[in-house]
């Protein structure tokens, strides 16, 4: 079954991190394209072994940046 997934990619040190917003799966790569492809592969493997009950349907994505005192 095909799933429409939502994900974000951000740079952390030398790598791009790809994080799925629908399930708790992430990956990384040296380029944005590599990070996205690695995430797709990780998700395909994840869905082979896990129930789809934990799949969260994400309708809309907003990305922001803020500074907090920590």
Q: pLDDT, tens digit, for every residue of 9-67?
A: 999 999 999 999 999 999 999 999 999 999 999 999 999 887 667 888 999 989 898 99
Number of domains in the chain: 1
Question: DSSP state, 32?
Answer: H
Q: Is residue 13 part of a domain?
A: yes
Angle at 64 between CA 69 and CA 66, to 5 degrees: 15
Q: Is residue 55 part of a domain?
A: no
Domain range enclosing 34:
7-50
Q: What is the pLDDT of residue 70?
A: 80
Q: What is the pLDDT of residue 53?
A: 74
Its pTM stands at: 0.84
Q: Is residue 69 part of a domain?
A: no
Residue 48, H or E segment:
helix 32-49
């Amino acid at each position: 079954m095909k799933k429409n997934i939502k994900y974000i990619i951000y740079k952390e040190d030398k790598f791009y991190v790809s994080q799925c917003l629908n399930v708790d799966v992430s990956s990384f790569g040296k380029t944005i394209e590599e990070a996205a492809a690695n995430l797709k592969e990780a998700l395909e493997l994840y869905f082979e072994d896990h129930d789809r009950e934990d799949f969260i349907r994400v309708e809309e994505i907003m990305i922001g940046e803020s500074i907090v005192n920590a």
